[in-house]
């Protein structure tokens, strides 16, 4: 089996509970959500999907790229990685790097194909897109809600979740300096029944992804990439 890979790069996790931890990212191509603020639109948008950049790779070839990585976290993301059967890839990674934790970032509207049990699942559901599956909401270790306005909080309050699950509120990147959006997040951390935490995309401030020559450095004029 081959995977279409947009980029493979060494970085550190810029979001969530594992923020600041050394990580290796595997970004797969393809998504069926089409989010208007997407910061990886090069993985799905017809105007930015560059076949000369994307690569067809086997699980073994992907693992070869991680051989010299000394961190403990491997993150599979996209696009929407749950569109792929991840079992062969995860089996290869687990066999080659048994001490490393496998994480996935998904919108949660598809079951993870192959049934692999990830060490960490980050769900980032979108109010304007497909609803997350209840089964995936229950499996998730953390939820990430992108805040554009009050409607984002209304959506959070409508989501079923489990006790102990961490909820993050991230300002949509093009609104990260918006007094209205920041005020909403500040307020909700104090009063919301879900007990959310204020989040951020810290890796963008450090430009850490771009330090790896393998990362995709194209300018994609959607959402978080345009600064």
Domain ranges within the chain, ordered by starting residue: 2-214
**Looking at residue 222, what is its pLDDT?**
77
Per-residue pLDDT tens over the stretch 14-70? 999 999 999 999 999 999 998 999 989 999 999 999 888 899 999 999 999 999 999
Please report the DSSP string for 140-162 in residue order.
Answer: -SEEEEEESSHHHHHHHHHS---
Q: Which residues of the chain have pLDDT under 50?
A: 226-227
Q: Contact, 169 vs 196, CB < 8 A? A: yes
Q: What CA–CA distance (Å, rounded) separates 155 from 188? A: 13
**Looking at residue 225, what is its pLDDT?**
52
Q: Contact, 189 vs 198, CB < 8 A? A: yes
Global model pTM greater than 0.75: yes
**Looking at residue 226, what is its pLDDT?**
44
Classify each residue of 208-224 as buried b or exposed e, where b means 16 or more C-beta atoms within 10 Å of its C-beta: bbeeeeebbeeebebbb
How many beta carbons lie within 10 A of that of residue 22, not counting itself? 14
**Looking at residue 97, what is its pLDDT?**
97
Residues composing the chain: 227
For the 2-214 domain, the top CATH level (class) is alpha beta
**Looking at residue 218, what is its pLDDT?**
83
């Amino acid at each position: 089996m081959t995977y279409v890979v947009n980029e493979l790069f060494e970085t550190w996790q810029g979001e969530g509970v594992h923020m600041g931890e050394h990580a290796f990212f595997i970004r797969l191509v393809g998504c069926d959500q089409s989010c208007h603020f997407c910061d990886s639109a090069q993985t799905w948008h017809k105007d930015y999907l560059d076949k000369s950049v994307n690569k067809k790779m086997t699980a073994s070839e992907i693992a070869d790229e991680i051989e010299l990585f000394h961190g403990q976290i491997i993150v599979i993301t996209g696009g929407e990685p749950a569109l792929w059967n991840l079992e062969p890839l995860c089996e290869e990674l687990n066999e080659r790097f048994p001490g490393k934790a496998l994480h996935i970032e998904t919108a949660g509207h598809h079951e993870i194909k192959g049934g692999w049990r990830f060490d960490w699942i980050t769900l980032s559901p979108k109010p304007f897109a497909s609803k997350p599956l209840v089964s995936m909401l229950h499996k998730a270790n953390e939820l990430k809600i992108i805040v554009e306005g009050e409607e984002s909080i209304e959506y959070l309050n409508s989501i079923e979740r489990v006790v102990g699950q961490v909820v993050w509120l991230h300002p949509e990147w093009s609104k990260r300096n918006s007094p209205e959006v920041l005020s909403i997040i500040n307020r909700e951390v104090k009063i919301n029944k879900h007990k959310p935490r204020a989040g951020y995309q810290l890796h963008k401030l450090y430009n850490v992804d771009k330090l790896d020559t393998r990362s995709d450095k194209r300018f994609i004029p959607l959402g978080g990439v345009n600064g």
